[in-house]
Amino acid sequence: MSRKGILFVISGPSGVGKGTIKDLLLSRLTDVRLSISATTRPPREGEVAGRDYFFLDSQEFSAMINRGEFLEYAQVYTNMYGTPKRYVQDKLSQGYDVLLEIDIQGAMQVKTKMPQGVFIFIEPPSIDELAFRLSSRGKDSQESIAARLAASHAEMESLKYYDYVVVNDNLEDAVNKVHSIIIAERCRVKNNC
């Protein structure tokens, strides 16, 4: 590969379908690498270190924070999660595009460290549809759904910091639009010099 890779960041409110879009994109694009997160939580059955996550203990994770080795990190309940900078930079320098699917707060941290990335906001067709999706997936309590919906209003304000917006009102259309963005960015002169 002769060009440097491009970092693509997909984010949006919880329940908008960004994980499903990511999975479908990766099944189509064999030359894109998914960013692998680090976590302090123990591996679940079937998870493989270095494929699913980089599993670290709390001391290792804290040391990486202190050395500035994360593009972003956050505490989720009792565990830490973060995007190791070196992994992303290594893949980009090898000419691979890297896809990072992350929450909005994490995306804003990445934007401060790698503003040259391409930031894609996945938007729900409506708040009512988002509420339906969160309820129908059966993962969250009513209190959790209410909190996620309340947060989504504030998260929608972050749209202005993104390069693209894709409304996920039809999954196949949304995947095609994100795929088109990736192709268009690969054709930009600045990404080929």
CB 180 within 8 A of CB 8: no
CB 51 within 8 A of CB 36: yes
**Residue 19 is labelled as binding a ligand:** yes
**Residue 117 is labelled as binding a ligand:** no
**Residue 13 is labelled as binding a ligand:** yes
**Residue 110 is labelled as binding a ligand:** no
Half-sphere exposure of 35 (CA within 13 A, CB side): 31
**Residue 111 is labelled as binding a ligand:** no
Encoding tokens for residue 112? 């401060």
CA–CA–CA angle 42, 43, 45 (5° rounding): 135
**Residue 14 is labelled as binding a ligand:** yes
**Residue 17 is labelled as binding a ligand:** yes
Q: Name the DSSP letter for residue 23.
A: H
**Residue 106 is labelled as binding a ligand:** no
Q: Binding site: what residues are annotated?
A: 12-19
Q: Binding site for ATP: what residues are annotated?
A: 12-19
